[in-house]
Amino acid sequence: MFMEGIQMVFDKQIETAARADMEKLQLSRLKDCVGRVYKNVPLYKEKFDRAGLKPADIKSLNDIRNIPFTLKDDLRDTYPFGMFAVPQKQIVRVHASSGTTGKPTVVGYTKNDLDMWSSVMARLCCAGGVTPEDTAQVAFGYGLFTGAFGLHYSLEKIGAMVIPASSGNTEKQIMLMKDFGSTVLVSTPSYALYISEVMEKMGIDPKRDLKLKYGLFGAEASTEHMRDQLEKRLNIIATENYGLSEIIGPGVSGECTHKCGMHINEDHFLVEIIDPVSGEVLKDGEQGEVVITAMSKEALPILRYRTKDISYLIPEKCTCGRTLKRMAKITGRSDDMLTIRGVNVFPSQIETVLLSSQEVEPHYEIIVRRENWLDQLEVLVELADASLLDNYSKLESLQNTIRAELKTILSLDAKVTLVQPSTLKRFQGKAQRVTDLREE
């Protein structure tokens, strides 16, 4: 049943389930989820009541289309724990990701949720080639973001040897790869390319000097061209995985080593593709916005969450033998969110920081560049008082203050450039504040 190149299938029964069995499981989980959120999450009871909908109305998988969408704003409005479906005492983990304003988006997990998370991500790691014999270097930043923990626990579940390298300190990362014989690299694709450049400068040849075999990449969009580069430069098989903390973190879907679409863990996550304007559900193969229902989560079950990511579904069975439906690489977003060094950034977060300062005007530009594969964020903003430009120390102090505020909110280091009043673009209609100079 399994084609060449398939190392290990973590959960054979689910990953090769017949469509009818999968749909039966999905329906039972969907019904259970709808009942739970109606009972325990005030926001969902309200949404249902307003739509004249009751949990018992969900009788078939198609009935999901009657359920109102969930938006990022819903999580923002219930910050921090207002959407949890269980009492705080049952929460064993809290994570957070970027919110659209000053406060982060908060997610929580029960013990069962953590077990599920590590299992679904373990499936994807195995699909990407990992076995218990591997040594995996996790070069995502460990902390409130879900990336590092998602991979860490799943790799540990598989029984691989986990090196919790966290992010940064590139020369040390390379030393670890060399000395510890890492066979798997986990990071953003752009950081992996950056690492490959530093390796080249250091005279290290991955083929000759390292034992790398697989790369599990995520947290930002990437192209086929980048994958080719990664595979050639690091001598690995590079696969992409997808997730978002509102749903679970990494683990929603991921490529197998045949690299033709990302298998969705659809026994836990129902994926629909909608027209972002009308909200109508589209057919398999049609491109639109990804909407996900996390049916089995206990702490934060989510119905029809609008991710703003653009993709399409691939219904055919994959050559690897898995029957889990695939989704295509994310090609863009239907909102203005940026991903910078794997971190989600909303221009409105930046705006919130700028608006809170009296010394700058709300006229600003955001420029994103990629230099040597590392994303650089620059914020240009107009001073309220031009005379400040003559006072270097005051200027620098204001720059540093804004920079520190941005770092607190974004967890990113931005370059802040203060400019003369009235020098930045003005707009007639919607402001186009962002210039993304990155080509891929």
Partner 1 sequence: MIWNKTYECMDRDKMTSLQSERLVKLVNYSYENVPYYKKKMDDIGIKPSDIKGIEDLNKLPFTVKDDLRDNYPYDAFAVPIGDIVRIHASSGTTGKPTVVGYTRNDIDTWSELMARTFAASGVTKDSIVQIAYGYGLFTGGLGAHYGAEKIGASVIPISGGNTKKQITVLQDFGSHAIACTPSYALFLSEVLEEMGIDPRKDLNLKYGIFGAEPWSHEMRAQIEQKLGIRATDIYGLSEIIGPGVATECEIQDGLHITEDHFVPEIINPETGDVLSEGSEGELVFTTLTKEGIPVIRYRTRDITSLNYKKCECGRTAVRMKKVMGRSDDMLIIRGVNVFPTQIESVLVSITEIEPHYLLVVDRVNNLDTLEIWVEMSDNLFSDEVRRVEQVRAKIKDEVQSLLGLTAKIKLVEPKTIERSTGKAKRVLDKRKI
Nearer CB in complex with partner 1: 39/172: 172
Q: How far is the CB of 381 from partner 1 (least distance, A)?
A: 20
Least Cβ distance, residue 250 to partner 1 (angstroms):
15
Cβ atoms 262, 327 nearer than 8 A:
yes
Q: Length of the chain, please?
A: 440
- Least distance from partner 1 to the Cβ atom of residue 133, Å: 6
Shortest reach from residue 142's CB to partner 1, in Å:
4
- DSSP symbol at 300: S
> Strand 214-217 relative to strand 184-187: parallel, antiparallel, unpaired?
parallel
- In angstroms, the Cα distances linking 189 to 218, 220, 313 are 7, 7, 23
* Rounded Cα gap, residues 88 and 327, in angstroms: 34
Residues 23 and 295: their CA atoms lie apart, in Å, by 13
E strands within 103-248? 105-109, 135-138, 161-163, 184-187, 214-217, 237-244
Nearer to partner 1, 66 or 408 (CB): 408
Residues 122 and 265 sit within 8 Å (Cβ to Cβ): no
Closer residue to partner 1 (CB): 16 or 166: 166
Q: How far is the CB of 425 from partner 1 (least distance, A)?
A: 31
Is the peptide bond between 301 and the residue preceding it cis, with omega within 30 degrees of 0?
A: no
What is the smallest separation between the CB atom of 408 and partner 1, expressed in angstroms?
Answer: 4
Smallest separation, CB 414 to partner 1 (Å): 14
Write the CB contacts of 408 (distance below 8 Å, at least 6 apart in sequence): none
For the chain, helix (H) and strand (E) counts, in that order, are 12, 21
| Least CB distance to partner 1 at residue 92 (A) | 6
> Which residues are at the interface with partner 1 (CB under 8 A)?
79-81, 88-89, 91-95, 103, 106, 108, 111, 132-133, 135, 141-144, 148-149, 156, 159-166, 179-180, 404, 407-408, 411
Quick one: 137 or 239, whose CB is closer to partner 1? 137
Per DSSP, the three-state class of 154 is helix
Minimum CB distance to partner 1 smaller for 48 or for 84: 84
Nearer to partner 1, 230 or 416 (CB): 416
Nearer residue to partner 1 within complex by CB, 143 or 276: 143
Task: Please name which of 387, 381, 421, 425 lies closest in space to residue 401, comparing C-alpha atoms.
Answer: 381
Closer residue to partner 1 (CB): 136 or 221? 136
Any residues with CB less than 8 A from the CB of 202 and at least 6 apart, and which?
171, 174
Confirm if 105 and 320 have CB atoms less than 8 A apart: no
Tokens 């304003």 locate to 101
Q: Give min distance, CB of 417 to partner 1, in A.
A: 22
Amino acid identity at 279: G
Place of tokens 């259970």: 32
Q: Are strands 135-138 and 184-187 parallel, antiparallel or unpaired?
A: parallel
Shorter beta-carbon distance to partner 1: residue 371 or 413: 413
Q: Which is nearer to partner 1, 91 or 379 (CB)?
A: 91
- For β-strands 161-163 and 135-138, DSSP reports them as parallel
> For residues 159 and 132, is the Cβ–Cβ distance under 8 A?
yes
User: Least distance to partner 1 from the beta carbon of 65, Å?
Assistant: 35
**Measured between alpha carbons, how far is residue 117 from residues 192, 236, 237, 238 in Å?**
24, 26, 24, 22
Backbone dihedral region for residue 136 (phi beyond 0: left; psi -120 to 50: alpha; all else: beta):
beta
CB of 54 to partner 1, least distance (A): 32
| Comparison of 42 and 132: residue with beta carbon closer to partner 1 | 132
